[in-house]
Structure 1
Amino acid sequence: MEVQEIIRGGGFASFDGQVLRIDGTCVRPYAVTDTRKLSVEVAEGAEGRLVLLHAAPVEAEIRLALAEGARLSVTEIFTAEAFVSLSVAEAAHSSCSLTMVQLASADLSFSAALDGREAGCDLRGVFLASGKEHCRVFVRIGHNVPDCRSDSLVKGIAGGEAKGEFRGLVYVAPDAQRTDARQQSRNIQLSRTARITTRPQLEIYADDVKCTHGATVGQMDADAIFYMRQRGLSEAQARALQIEGFVGDIVRRCDIEPLREALTEAVAAKLERM
């Protein structure tokens, strides 16, 4: 079943408007398909799950605000070209986890402001660009106070004449001591005409921190493909397994089982066309 059918088929909390307020603990996840203008407010100590589906070529501005101790898990899916600005402001002891999948040309600008002690932000994303598609992911994590944590990993695959772009920044404010921040960009180019550019950056103004960043852009692992072919797989099967393994850990982070299965199928279908 397709991603849109899963979301529209029920099992999600209903929401129709521009401001979503989450109080307490929500058992059912919220799904939003009209994301052009959206604000989400998670109350103190509340916990919720949110699905954002960009299935039309729109420009969207989404703001998330987490009060003290709030927890929010977000799954964001692009099945059509969309230009999205997604920002989150986090109070003390709050936690935001974002899983992002781009299955078409798309542009995501994600920013997180960690404004309270012991706030945490986790981002796991993947883009799949084929043909002449262009996928962009810009990430900015602001550690504005001490004792906060962030971890971002964005993977990209480009084939044909497609282009991928990642730009990241971890900002550590003066006196934001004991910051723990990691940022990684890992990418595979499937053809000589595909291009992926990546630029992770650190901007640090405190001295008691643990901050790392890194980036890789490469081709398929020829040794791994040879190893799998020695065990009876065709070259196409070996390549498919390697790519699925590369992106699989991102897709499996979706904590909504029917949606996770639909995403896995959608990713596999896109990879077959690459």
Structure 2
Amino acid sequence: MSDQAHFDRLSERFGRNIYDTPKGRIRLHFLQQDLQALLEQDSELLILDAGGGQGQFARHCASLGHRVVLCDLSEQMLDAADQLNREQGLEDRIELVRDSIENFCHHDTRQYQLILCHAVLEWVQESEPLLQALTQRLGNAGRLSLMYYNRHSIVLRNALRGNFRKALSDQFGGDGGGLTPTHAREPQQIDSQLQALGMSIEAQLGVRCFYDYLPPKVRQTYAFEDILELEQRFRDQLPYRQMARYIHLIAAKTQQ
């Protein structure tokens, strides 16, 4: 199944299971917090949302006065984005492009002050070609906001659940038919690849350091705000950020 067909089929489930849940709210909350200083500056930014799906974060950026190019391969994802953009009166600030990220970056000539690539890296076979394509579209001192599925968390979660064979197998990808990513990433490898591309990592934070490990009874006992406070307290500290379900890093392109 092609990537486009896969996400076309999952478009409705994606919105329901990713963003309309506490884990999705945690993810969106921290992405907005981490990028607040960049997005609330006075100047208008040109932003590329690479693999932005239904445009939840693109609309957040557009609502703050920025211009966003949302590139995604799924037609159904972009149809949903277009409808939601219009409902919120943001269609003039968000340009929708249906293409693969690498192909778009190869043909587009614009330089972006900020590129968003959230929960995309884990769906491609090789991470380096995608990172290279993205960094080529960054202007000098431009920022890359990269969030990816953390391999360490998959090992730990399987061990805690007693899935020892899977934890030892080094095979952590989903079967390609659902929302479980196919290629969890090792943080040190991603850091090395970015540095080799002339990127300087400015911030590195965990997204859901604890939530995915909590038993259902604990999730139901505590208020969402209490869980959020716990996540906030430890997400920038080692070893907790290395256990997070996702790693969010912000990297700057070195002046050339």
Give the alignment's TM-score, normalised by structure 2. 0.28
Structure number with higher relative contact order (C-alpha < 8 Å, ≥ 6 residues apart): 2
Q: Considering fraction of residues, name the structure with more helix.
A: 2
Q: Considering fraction of residues, name the structure with more strand.
A: 1
Give the alignment's TM-score, normalised by structure 1. 0.27
